[in-house]
Amino acid sequence: MRCCDVEALWDEMRDGVEPRREHVLAHLRRCPTCQDHYRQYEGVAYCLSCLPIVEPPPGLVPKILDHIKSVRGARYAVPDGIARIPSPLGTLYVAFRPAGITYVAIDRGTPFEAVCAEIERRLHRAVRAADAPRWVTERLRRYFTTWETDADRIDLSDLSEFERAALRKAMEIPPGEVRSYSWIAREIGHPHAARAVSQAMARNPLALLVPSHRVVDATGALHNYGYGLDLKARILGMEGYAPGPARSRA
Amino acid sequence: MAAPLGAQRIPRPAPSIETFETIVDEYQRRLYGFALRMTGNREDAEEIVQDAFVRAFRALGKMTDEQRAELRLQPWLYTITLNVTRNRLRSKRPTNVALDALADPDALLSGTGEGPDSPEQIVERGTDMALVEQALLQLPMHLRAAATLRFIEGRSHPEIAEILQQPIGTVKSHVHRAVRILRRVLAPQVGRLAPAGDPTHAVL
């Protein structure tokens, strides 16, 4: 039996089904090179099998079931419509219901089905492909022509009190300007909650229309953005923001 | 440890949310662990598992009775989880590799199982484990999937072939390539972690 034949077989032996087991072992006893390889191979397998089993977070099962119930559709909620809308930043996926726009995602090359799944998980409702009504396209057009951000036709009702407050405050930042996470925290009366503000921004369901991209860290560094820092810089540039030397702002 | 392949048959009629609960209950741990090893991020793993079960529930609802009777639940759930993972990782910025402190000391403490280790041993073991995790995450997606299913999930080659929807020969060669890379990267860890009673001595 040649070395290469043996190497192909010893992994099979782990399942205990290899009929040529004795031949493999006989070869291994004779051939120090293969013995060495075999030890390393088993060592790698052993290391991997030692990785600790990480328990899922408590409450994952009810969470999954709730999620299934909530996206199951009509019995619980009318699904939001979702439309693809072209924009200067590429395709936008926009979810909406009569109360307003509920989600804006910027296309990152994710398949449509996966985008929908993600949005459904965030909204806890089903979404269904639909043509964008005129008010939706008009609302986006207004953003892309004036860069103004206001609460008109925006539905943040799925969010927590705190998230809503933080996102509403972000909407007050004028186009072409930025503010820090701690500025928002102070303004909404939770001066020590800059971290929570940064999380609320990271979870912003309405890209662009709620300008979480105008929120930066205390040194003026862009810090983070769900769609990548390059895009954050590009959007800010588009809105007329000219970054000065990094400094503390507000 | 793992249930034999396809041992769990699903009820012929489409499962209600209540009967689906037993499926979720039975597989969530395994799928979560798999998603975590594939992404290295707890938040991602949690969301992947949620998406995977929603997809599974929907798909079961759309199947005919015959399709449901034919279905082998476990590999199918792994396949769905892997697809969701793939979609997610594809759209993710490559910069986001912040390891989620996967090897947390608690898990390691409860994970070794064999008597109390000294604090130094625990620390060293923790560092080694973190390196093993990282090495696995550095593998290309298809090699990582093959190695994870083989050595962590303990699946056989035919099962992995079914999950990855690839020929067995391809699966074997992926497993081998993964090991070849890992044994280069992990040589010191392999030396340290493999127990004194080297497992190979049993057969040699």
| Low-confidence spans in chain B with pLDDT less than 50 | 1-7, 93-114, 196-204
**Number of separate domains in chain A:** 3
Angle at B51 between CA B47 and CA B54, to 5 degrees: 140
Report yes or no on A197 lying in a domain: yes
Residue where the block lists tokens 């392999």: B190
Q: Say if residue A30 is in the same domain as residue A103.
A: no
Report yes or no on A222 lying in a domain: yes
User: How far, in Å, are B11, B13, B46, B60, B71 from residue B66 at the CA level?
Assistant: 11, 10, 31, 11, 9
Structure tokens at A32: 């120090």
Report yes or no on A153 lying in a domain: no
Report yes or no on A243 lying in a domain: no
Q: Say if residue A89 is in the same domain as residue A46.
A: no
- CB-CB under 8 Å, B187 with A47: no
Q: Convert the pLDDT of each residue in A184-238 to its tens digit.
A: 999 999 999 999 999 999 999 999 999 999 999 888 888 888 888 899 999 999 9
Report yes or no on A170 lying in a domain: yes
Q: Determine the CATH number of domain B118-195.
A: 1.10.10.10
Report yes or no on A28 lying in a domain: yes
C-beta atoms surrounding A152 within 10 Å: 12
- CB-CB under 8 Å, B187 with A54: no
In CATH, what number is assigned to the domain containing residue A188?
1.10.10.10
Q: Where residue A40 falls among pLDDT bands split at 50, 70, 90?
A: confident
C-beta atoms surrounding B25 within 10 Å: 13
CB of B22 within 8 Å of a chain A CB? The answer is no
ipTM value of the model? 0.75
Q: Say if residue A142 is in the same domain as residue A172.
A: no
Report yes or no on A182 lying in a domain: yes
- CB-CB under 8 Å, A69 with B54: no
Domain boundaries, chain B: 1-100, 118-195
Examine the pLDDT at A172 and tell me if it is beyond 90: yes
- Size (chain B), residues: 204
Identify the pLDDT of residue A166: 96
Strand order in the sheet with A92-97: A100-106, A92-97, A80-85, A127-129
Architecture of domain B1-100: Orthogonal Bundle (1.10)
pTM of the model: 0.63
Examine the pLDDT at A141 and tell me if it is beyond 50: yes
Select from A15, A52, A63 the Cβ nearest to the Cβ of B156: A15
Mean pLDDT of chain A: 87
Q: Give the distance from residue B66's alpha carbon to the nearest chain A alpha carbon, in angstroms.
A: 23
The residue segments making up the domain with residue A8 are 3-50
Q: Which of B23, B26, B97, B152 to mutate to test the interface with A (most CBs of A within 10 A)?
A: B152
DSSP state string for A226-245? TT-HHHHHHHHHHTT----S
Report yes or no on A156 lying in a domain: no
Identify the pLDDT of residue A242: 84
